[in-house]
Structure 1
Amino acid sequence: MHPLLLLLALLLPVGAETEKIIGGHEAKPHSRPYMAFVQFLDKDNKKDSKKRCGGVLVHKDFVLTAAHCWGSSIKVTLGAHNIKEQEKTQQVIPVRRAIPHPDYSPKNYSNDIMLLLVRRPPCSSCPPGSRLPGQVCSVAGWGRISMDTLATTLQEVSLEVQTDWECRSIFRDYYIGATHICVGDPKKMKTGFKGDSGGPLVCNNMVQGIFSYGKNDGTPPGVFMKVSHFLPWIKRTIKVGPAETLSPNQHPHPQGLIVTLL
């Protein structure tokens, strides 16, 4: 299938502190083959610090994640369940190019979405993504399972899409209905948090969102980038990415791009 047709099949239109699966449970090993484990070094700190995010394989050459997951020495691991073990299914792939959205702002996390150009990993089971408030979707990641404990195995949780008003009342001007999806029932202690940024929101087997940020105390709801809004940019980038014709000026990587919210 043509790469762009594949992407369109995966991504259908939908109507602060970041990252962690709270209130979830361990996923069935390798039940989400599209999940990508993203590691990088955050050089914003005085001492280099290894950070983690999630991502989703949307094309044989590209992983979609959050823009604030940018750093040096980015590596993507596919086929992982337990990241502390050397599983035979794991494939560690260096990132050839990190392409954050050109309008990403670390000040309010607007356009917090990024494509990672990788070295042609296999894509045997990339999933395809609904949008109405009340829709139950799933989120997965290797983020924290408590305030002090990072997961070693892939965790998953079912979350309910909320109205824009729910997030706007909490995050004020940070929340933009045109580009964001509000996810997670405030009455239930289930959400994503530290280490889960960039992971996909999957609704009816379709990727609808990319986890961006949430509340400082790790309670729901959380905010996801609305993937359908960014389809034109994703399609343009995937078209030119493998040819590596982009110059640094076209996709600048300023030192201040990454924020310390992981």
Structure 2
Amino acid sequence: MWLVLLHLLAFLLPSRAMAGEIIGGKDAKPHSRPYMAYLTITRSNSEETNCGGFLIREDFVMTAAHCNGRTINITLGAHNIKKKEETQQHMVLLRSITHPEYKKNPPTNDIMLLQLEKKAKLTKAVKPLKLPRSFVKLKPGMVCSVAGWGGNLLANMQPVLQEVKLKVMRDEVCESCYPRNFKNKTQICAGDPRQWKSSYQGDSGGPLVCGKVAEGIVSYGNKYGAPPRVFTRISSYLSWIDRTMNSPRL
């Protein structure tokens, strides 16, 4: 009953919060999403937090710009992040590149590339995820998925990778919920308000996967976890991504 009340409260008090933990999902099949990256971030004030990310090339991980920090530790090939699995690869960050026009409030151009010092070893548990080839406007009603190690409203985190299916919504749904924040040219609206399925605190930076392609990045949403949620539209940044990944190393 109290979950129903929380859901109602979420709509009565529309407040923006960084997206993250999976709500209404389930345990993912071990290593069924070999592109997933687990990020441990230390902020400038020494605060530690976690985000998701995803491998897009042997030497690059994509995530949300708001996941940046003083240090970022990257783990690939993980299923249970509380265990030392043989599949895990702990990568050293060479540099983090946030989009030059990123703004924290309201979240705009919330995308960041993490260049690895060494290329990841590709295995069954570590594989890159494809990006769209051109600008994509997803059709409302299309079912996509999100994964991450966040928990839900009952727990701070889940050690085992979680996943949930989310429906792409019409832009008007997010324009109504986030009238000052939502930008339909660079953001995707996903998550049916009638279903208690969502990302929440902890999964920021993870991919919105549609048809085996990364179409979005977990960005922000209502602080109570109520859908819809907002995702950075990756296809709006393909030129910047290509230019950045193919520039000489610093």
Give the TM-score of the pair, scaled to structure 1. Answer: 0.83
Which of 156, 166, 178 matches 1:159? 166
Instruction: Map Cα deviations across residues 11-30 of structure 1 (whole Å, 9 max, x no partner).
Output: xxxxx112110000000011
CA–CA distance in 2 between the matches of 1:34 and 1:144? Answer: 20
Aligned to 1:121: 120
Distance 2:172 2:92 in 1: 40
Q: Residue by residue, what CA displacement relative to the aligned partner does 1:57-112 show, whole Å, maximum 9, x if unpaired?
A: 11111000000000022011000000000000001112110100000001111000
Give the secondary-structure state (helix, strand or coil) at the position aligned to 1:173: coil
- Which 4+ residue blocks in structure 1 deviate beyond 6 angstroms? none
> Quick check: 2:218–2:232 contact (8 Å CA) kept in 1?
yes
Per-residue CA distance 1:154-198 (angstroms, 9 max, x = gap): 000000000100001011120000000001000111110111000
- SS of match in other structure, 2:144: strand
Could you say which residue in structure 2 is the equivalent of 1:219?
Answer: 226
Distance across 1 between alignment mates of 2:120 and 2:63: 16
**Relative to structure 1, is the Cα distance of residues 146 and 126 closer, same or farther in structure 2, using a 3 angstrom cutoff?**
same
Deviation by residue 1:175-228 (Cα, 9 ceiling, x = unmatched):
000000001000111110111000000101111000000101111111000000
Match of 2:76 among 50, 75, 78: 78
Q: Which residue of 2 aligns with 1:31?
A: 32
Q: How many residues align?
A: 225
**Letter paired with 1:204:** G
Match of 2:105 among 84, 107, 112: 107
Kindly provide the amino acid, as one letter, of the partner of residue 23 in structure 2. I
Following the alignment from structure 2 to structure 1, what is the Cα–Cα distance between the partners of residues 181 and 158? Answer: 28
CA RMSD of aligned residues (A): 1.2
Q: Any unmatched runs of 5+ in structure 1?
A: 1-15, 246-262
**Which has the larger displacement, 140-149 or 153-162?**
140-149
1:126 Cα deviation from its structure 2 partner:
2.1
Q: Which amino acid aligns with 1:38?
A: L
3-state secondary structure, aligned to 1:235? helix
1:121 maps to amino acid = A
- Identity, in percent, stands at 45
| Cα distance, 1:147 vs structure 2 | 4.7
The one-letter code of the counterpart of 1:111 is N
After TM superposition, give the deviation of residue 122 of structure 1 in Å.
2.6
- The whole-number CA distance in structure 2 between the counterparts of 1:204 and 1:144 is 25
Q: Which aligned pairs between 1:82-231 and structure 2 lie closer than 5 A?
A: 82-118=80-116, 119-124=118-123, 125-128=127-130, 131-231=138-238
* Cα distance in 2 between the residues matched to 1:122 and 1:181: 32
CA deviation after TM superposition for structure 1 residue 42, in Å: 1.8
Q: Is the 8 A contact 2:43 2:71 kept in 1?
A: no
Match in the other structure for 2:10: none
Displacement of 1:148 after TM fit? Answer: 3.7
